[in-house]
Amino acid sequence: MQIIFQANDKLVELDPYLDQGEMGVSDFQFSLEELSQYITGRIEMRFDLNRKVSLDLFYDFAVCYEEIVESVINVKNGFSNKKRIWFCEQGSDFYINYEIEGKNLLLEYKKGGCVGFPNNKIEDFTVSIDRSVYVSEWVNLFASIVKLFEIKLNKKINFPLGL
């Protein structure tokens, strides 16, 4: 598994009404919302040449942030319960199911009924990957995002707890 992150500048559209207290989110989540005013972002989870899942940084990753962090912590700590992340915003409708099997992670991509482009072209699949690779790829992504917070927002934000 490999996670590839791409961020592109966009015309800045500042929202003067952004309010972290009103939103009830962590510093990391609020900084993601602020960052959306400056860039567009794509995340690609590659498993092999034919099996890759695309996530929008803001509509998929930010919306499922807590579930993604929970998955990384679960995999890192070896919690073996079968879990699911449902990506359900802005044309996304797919699931990432995961379960620990020893040192490996059994990960399943499953389309929902209304999955949009580009993930609608991908057939359902299951892969077995090394748990440490799953954790390190996500940690590297979080490090890239934290660096963007510093560059674009001039903010030093910590990694999510437990990573």
When pLDDT is averaged across residues 137-149 and rounded to a whole number, the result is 97
| pLDDT, position 126 | 96
Q: What is the pLDDT of residues 4-52, one digit of tens each?
A: 999 999 999 899 999 999 999 999 999 999 999 999 999 999 998 889 9
Q: What is the pLDDT of residues 86-123, one digit of tens each?
A: 888 766 789 999 999 999 999 999 988 888 778 878 89
Give the confidence band of 163 by pLDDT, cuts at 50, 70, 90.
low
| pLDDT, position 159 | 85
| pLDDT, position 116 | 76
Q: Which SS3 state, helix, strand or coil, does residue 147 take?
A: helix
When pLDDT is averaged across residues 117-136 and rounded to a whole number, the result is 92
pTM for this entry = 0.92
Domain range list for the chain: 2-153
| pLDDT, position 114 | 82
Give me the DSSP letters along 67-129.
HHHHHHHHHHHT----EEEEE-STT--EEEEEEEETTEEEEEEEE-TT--TTGGGSPPEEEEE
* Between 118 and 58, the higher pLDDT residue: 58
